[in-house]
Structure 1
Amino acid sequence: MDIKNIYYFITSSRSFCIHIVFTLNAIYYVSHAGLNPLQLVLIGTIMELAVLFFEIPTGLVADFWGRKKSFIIGTFIIGLAHLLEGSVPTFWAIAVGAALWGIGWTFISGAETSWIADELENNELDTVFLKGAKFSSIGSFLGIIVSVVVATVFTVQIAILIAGGLLVVIAIILLRIVPETKFLSIAHGETTSYQQILHAVKGGLIQIKGNAMLISLAVVTIFFGLASEGFDRLWGAHFIEGFHLIEKDAIYWFGAFYAIAFLLNIGILKVVETYVKERFAMVLLVLNSLLVLLMLIFAVSNAFLLAALLYWLIASLRAVNTPLINILTNKQLQSQGRATALSMYGQLDAFGQVAGGPLVGIIALYTSIQGGIISSAILIIPTLYFLWRMSKFS
């Protein structure tokens, strides 16, 4: 199988399984486990704490022992996390599952993009990352449809368990089909493992410190993290509690929320891939300026259909950030130590989410869910200045 097609299979199959869960977890958390707004945000905070502590160690695993091993381990752990949370609908079981999910994701973060960048020797990264994001969206769209069907025929809980089991199977398949031919370990035989780790971390920091674009990307990553966790955990509760959706209706509506958002995302990615040439920072500036405005209107909207329309636009715009940031970051990094440097960005994102999540959760608990969403929108605003600076560099 062509290396690009393997990459597209990885991104689409994992997104398929994860979005079987993501389509339904707001319903599962609120209706089955009975979590309050603060607990909802704390679930995300626990996940991001795991990311914060494990990003650098797992990045080193990828740079020392192989990117393939790293992202396959991560896929397997995420499967176990969904099996656990789907088995026991309680706050503590879901919290442990969230921690495992965060650890699993750190094995994937940086390693997967480093693997494909190395295998392609940094050629065609714009096209491959954008197409990978489109295939991921297609997989997510199919996962949404399957989640609605399974939850309707069986239960929300069964759908989550099926997704967890499929991820474990996918990890086993990847072990057999993924090649790794261009990997260069950063290990040096003449130094101790501890010295090698320090050298790898120092090398990643030097790459970032010496590059104005990478520094701006680091600041943007922190603020995206600060803003994202609260919205991720509260938008579903906004629909369920604000518009009094019963579980049966919520299953269909949440399927529609995710499905239409991903179709819009595919369209936006196609436009970016076709018409945007090297002006990715400017595109990010325009899209995130619009995103802030839409989130503020979404928070105060009392009309269900307007809120649904706004959510579709918000979700599709947010999904464009990741591939564009990946392109900008990978183009600035050297091959050796790339996964460790990318893990540092993952750690910055996790730090932002750990700091921003509880803040937004407390605001939501003591004001309203709408107040929490408004605070998330405000936290995006500082990124606009740094995206404007980045547009001057590119």
Structure 2
Amino acid sequence: MSPYRLYLLVCGLGSFAGRTAFTLNLVYQATVVGLSPLQLVLVGTVMEGVCFVAQVPTGVIADVVSRRLSVIVGYLLMGVGLLVWGLFPSFAAVLVANVIWSIGAVCVDGAEEAWAADEIEPDRVTSAFVRGGQVGQAGSLLGILAAIVLAYAGLAVPIVVGGALTLALGVLVMVFMKEERWTPTATTHSMRRQVVAGGRAVRGSTLLAGIVAGTFFAGLSSEGFDRLSQPFLLPFVGDRPIELVFGGLAMVAALGSIVVTGLVGRRLHDGHPRRVGRLLAVVEGVTAAAMIGFGLSGQWWVAVPLYLLVRLLRDAADPIMSVWLVSATEAGSRATVFSIQAQADALGQIAGGPPVGVVAQRASIGAGISVAGLFLLPAVALFGLAARSSDPVRADVVVEPLP
């Protein structure tokens, strides 16, 4: 199998397996495992903490030892983690499963794309990434449908099936993935030097410092919504089939995300940092308002539109942030600045999850979600200030419209 075809297969099957496992995962944790609001948030905090700690050592494995090895180990660990998650419905087992799955996810993250960039013919790399994204979206939609159907046999079944498919993907990668064009490109010393250079770039730029600080507060906010939004909607479901309700919401959100991302992409054609930053500040401001309103809502017809609005806006914020960082950074430190920004997001989620969980436990789940929305307001201010300090678009950066 050619590297190009293998990459597309991995994108499609990986997205299908992941969406099958995670579409109804929070409903499973809240109803079958019986986790409290605080426990739900702590599970997510553990996940983010493990990802944060494991980023550097797994990056060293991918850059110094082998990208192929990192990808194989990653998918096998994710598969094992999902099997533990679905087969043992207890808080302790879910925590252990999160640790295993998170280490695997970090192993795959970045290493898979780096392998593709090395092994696929240079004139087909861009096509592979674009087509891989499309195949991944198709796999996600099919995974949502699979989760709905499988959940009729039990909410744990989609998680177990997703885990088995992820394990099978690890075996497939082990058999078919070749690593013929790759040579080590970094040493521990050079990686340390690059991290120091990226840190200096952030400290020396008001724009980048504002983006990183704003990302931290966005991370404070996101964990509470991610972990509590579906449990918050459960009382509104009533006698409706849980599988159809949450599966249908996931399908609408996935299709809407494709449309919204396309619309946002048309507004980013010039890559002007100031305009991009202002757009992100507006998107985050509306997200904060919708999140606060969602937590305060008391009726289904109010809660569901706000829930979908938050999910769509958060999906739209990702490409806006990517374009903003690309247009505001030098090529030599760009990847490191992206890593620092991702670390700030992870730190925010680690710090923001527990207090939101405590509020949800002692007051109500809706109150916890509204507090998470309040955490987002400083990010809106910081992104706005960073946008004001933005220079005109860099001459060495060309931002293509998003497809």
TM-score (norm 1): 0.84
Note the 1:1-394 alignment, pairs <5 A.
9-113=9-113, 135-152=135-152, 154-175=153-174, 176-177=176-177, 181=181, 185-187=185-187, 195=189, 198-241=192-235, 243=236, 245=238, 249-277=241-269, 278-279=271-272, 280-329=276-325, 332=329, 334=331, 338=335, 342-388=338-384, 389-390=386-387, 392-393=390-391, 394=393
Query: Contact 1:295 / 1:374 at 8 angstroms: preserved in 2?
Result: yes
Query: Contact 2:220 / 2:372 at 8 angstroms: preserved in 1?
Result: yes
Secondary structure of the 1:156 match is: coil
1:306-364 CA-to-partner distances (Å, cap 9, x unmatched) read 312222221122122334434444663657994x6544433322211111000100111
Alpha-carbon distance between aligned partners in 1 of 2:136 and 2:216, rounded to the nearest angstrom: 24
CA displacement at 1:97 relative to structure 2: 0.8
Alpha-carbon distance between aligned partners in 2 of 1:121 and 1:285, rounded to the nearest angstrom: 39
Query: Structure 2: which 5+ runs fail to align?
Result: 394-403
Q: Which piece of structure 1 moves more, 384-393 or 75-84? A: 384-393
Higher relative contact order (CA 8 A, sep 6+): 1
Call closer, same or farther: CA 1:196–1:335 in 2, change over 3 Å. Answer: closer
1:93-145 CA-to-partner distances (Å, cap 9, x unmatched) read 00111112222222233444555667799999999877765544332221111
1:224-274 CA-to-partner distances (Å, cap 9, x unmatched) read 211111111110110113x2546x711111101111000000111222334
Alpha-carbon distance between aligned partners in 2 of 1:178 and 1:30, rounded to the nearest angstrom: 42
Secondary structure of the 1:20 match is: helix
Counterpart residue identity of residue 53, structure 2? F
Query: Contact 1:224 / 1:352 at 8 angstroms: preserved in 2?
Result: yes
Query: Contact 1:56 / 1:344 at 8 angstroms: preserved in 2?
Result: no
Counterpart residue identity of residue 97, structure 1? A
Alpha-carbon distance between aligned partners in 2 of 1:371 and 1:123, rounded to the nearest angstrom: 52
Call closer, same or farther: CA 1:5–1:145 in 2, change over 3 Å. Answer: same
Counterpart residue identity of residue 349, structure 2? Q
Counterpart residue identity of residue 262, structure 1? A
Query: Contact 2:326 / 2:334 at 8 angstroms: preserved in 1?
Result: no
Query: Contact 1:106 / 1:343 at 8 angstroms: preserved in 2?
Result: no
Query: Contact 2:290 / 2:306 at 8 angstroms: preserved in 1?
Result: yes
Query: Contact 2:68 / 2:177 at 8 angstroms: preserved in 1?
Result: no
Secondary structure of the 2:23 match is: helix
1:196-232 CA-to-partner distances (Å, cap 9, x unmatched) read 5643543443454455544333223312211111111
Query: Contact 2:21 / 2:161 at 8 angstroms: preserved in 1?
Result: no
Secondary structure of the 1:45 match is: helix
CA displacement at 1:168 relative to structure 2: 1.7
Q: Which piece of structure 1 moves more, 127-136 or 315-324? A: 127-136
Query: Contact 2:15 / 2:143 at 8 angstroms: preserved in 1?
Result: yes
State percent identity of aligned pairs. 30
Alpha-carbon distance between aligned partners in 1 of 2:130 and 2:306, rounded to the nearest angstrom: 24
Alpha-carbon distance between aligned partners in 2 of 1:72 and 1:221, rounded to the nearest angstrom: 31
Call closer, same or farther: CA 1:377–1:303 in 2, change over 3 Å. Answer: same
CA displacement at 1:380 relative to structure 2: 1.4
Alpha-carbon distance between aligned partners in 2 of 1:224 and 1:124, rounded to the nearest angstrom: 35
Query: Contact 2:216 / 2:347 at 8 angstroms: preserved in 1?
Result: yes
Query: Contact 2:3 / 2:177 at 8 angstroms: preserved in 1?
Result: no
Counterpart residue identity of residue 313, structure 1? L
CA displacement at 1:296 relative to structure 2: 1.8
Query: Structure 1: which 5+ runs fail to align?
Result: 188-192
Counterpart residue identity of residue 301, structure 1? S
Counterpart residue identity of residue 378, structure 1? L
Call closer, same or farther: CA 1:122–1:346 in 2, change over 3 Å. Answer: farther
CA displacement at 1:147 relative to structure 2: 0.2
Secondary structure of the 2:156 match is: helix
Alpha-carbon distance between aligned partners in 1 of 2:238 and 2:343, rounded to the nearest angstrom: 36
Counterpart residue identity of residue 370, structure 2? I
Aligned residues: 384
Counterpart residue identity of residue 94, structure 2? I
Aligned to 1:190: none
Query: Contact 2:65 / 2:184 at 8 angstroms: preserved in 1?
Result: no
1:273-329 CA-to-partner distances (Å, cap 9, x unmatched) read 345312543432232222112212211222213312222221122122334434444
Q: Which piece of structure 1 moves more, 223-232 or 175-184? A: 175-184
Alpha-carbon distance between aligned partners in 2 of 1:128 and 1:326, rounded to the nearest angstrom: 19
CA displacement at 1:71 relative to structure 2: 3.8
